[in-house]
Amino acid sequence: MHNPLLNRRTFIKNSSKLAAGLALVSSVPKSSFALLRHKPKIRFSVIGINHSHIYGMADTVIRGGGELVSFYAKEPELVSSFSKKYPQAKLSRGQKEILEDASTQLILSSGIPVERAPLGIEVMQHGKDFLVDKPGITTLKQLAAVRRVQKETRRSYTIFIERLESKTISKAGALIKVGVIGKVIQTMGTGPHRINPSSREAWFFDKKYFGGIITDLGSHQFDQFLYFTGSSKAEVISAQAGNVHHPQYPAFEDFGDVMLRGDQGTGYFRVDWFTPDGLQSWGDGRMTILGTDGYIELRKTLDIGGREGGNHLFLVNQKETRYINCNNEPLPFSELFISDVINRTETAIKQEDCFLAAELALKAQAKAKELRFGK
């Protein structure tokens, strides 16, 4: 027989369970739902974690659909920090074990810069793609070897530079594509950094390990010059670099600048290790993009004019002067890159563009006149 009281008690009991379940679900971060909805598309590993950029690189690949399964580093203190951040990753006995793991498609690295290209060559020869921190190549001889092996193996050798994960650059590229400042004729960039000597390893102060300041910090600038001007060919007009304020590190370089001419525009940039401690960022990175009908200024990390946070874009053209906060702009690189790994395409970044930016950096470094100031 139908019992109204029993049905009411059952309804209350089930409603309580539903409410508790909804409360639990609402407390889960939205990013967790993405992880639950999407099964990892590829498996990847890490070899070499000498620069903290590896954390951003790993997070980017995970966001795009990668599963971090293993890693290897020689330094126990670096292993400890990485394991805490990524407990799901197994510590391998050596890089050979990772290279010979047939279940992974991609290797990431932020090892000591001079060691990155030789590792990348091994990675490609083992049938895997390589995503490496900048500078991904430190000599022209290394570049020639990397290009040869990449052509032979048809695996990708991608250098992780600023453009790939910058919301201001992404927005500026979209605006330029629809012609808001006409044809781009020049880029002018600055890439200052804070030196933080107490946190640096010995190799950081010897350019034979990092290739020089233009090769290292300038890698972002060459890529952005090519990207914004649309140049497929370019030459270094002038370059200079030197150690002007750190005599305690005689093999170091703390300042450099370069002038470029491409087949679609010109460029100038300055890089340095002179960010003062009073700045609320590691560096006030900026770029001005000059077009025939206007210009765009990017204030990437912060705006000393007073606006909070980073990702600031200023647009001036024939119609208006406008400020755009780019914090909500999408970053398509992670998903495009994973798709490229799976489908053997080049939608995230073209391989030759990556190599051309590296080539220009290495040629500029080799050409750079030594900069010294008299006392």
- For residue range 158-215, list pLDDT tens digits in order: 999 999 999 999 999 999 999 999 999 999 999 999 999 999 999 999 999 999 999 9
- For residue range 239-255, list pLDDT tens digits in order: 999 999 999 999 999 99
d(CA 223, CA 217): 11
Q: What is the dihedral of CA 218, 223, 228, 230, to 10 degrees?
A: 130
Helix or strand run (H / E) with residue 138: none
Q: Which positions ≥6 away from 116 have C-beta within 8 Å?
A: 48, 109, 132, 133, 135, 136, 137, 138
d(CA 262, CA 235): 6
- Judge whether 253 and 212 are in contact, CB under 8 Å: yes
Q: How far is CA 324 from CA 34, 170, 281, 331, in A?
A: 28, 12, 20, 16
User: For residue 262, is pLDDT > 90?
Assistant: yes
Q: Which pTM does this prediction carry? A: 0.88
Domains located in the chain, CATH noted: 34-160 (3.40.50.720), 164-333+361-370 (3.30.360.10)
- For residue range 324-334, list pLDDT tens digits in order: 999 999 999 99
Q: 154-171 as b/e, with b when 16 or more CB fall inside 10 Å? A: ebbbbbbbbbbbbbbbbb
For the chain, state the CA radius of gyration: 24
User: For residue 23, is pLDDT > 90?
Assistant: no
User: For residue 356, is pLDDT > 80?
Assistant: yes
Provide the terminal-to-terminal Cα distance of the chain, rounded to the nearest Å. 103
d(CA 372, CA 368): 12
pLDDT over 90 percentage in the chain: 88
* pLDDT confidence bin for 375, thresholds 50/70/90: low
- For residue range 41-78, list pLDDT tens digits in order: 999 999 999 999 999 999 999 999 999 999 999 999 99
Both structure tokens of 320: 């208006």
Distance of CA 153 to the CA centre of its chain: 24
Both structure tokens of 246: 């750190």
Both structure tokens of 3: 């019992």
d(CA 175, CA 167): 12
In this prediction, residue 39 carries a pLDDT of 75
d(CA 110, CA 160): 10
Is there a cis peptide before residue 113, judged by omega within 30 degrees of 0? no
d(CA 89, CA 69): 5
pLDDT over 70 percentage in the chain: 90
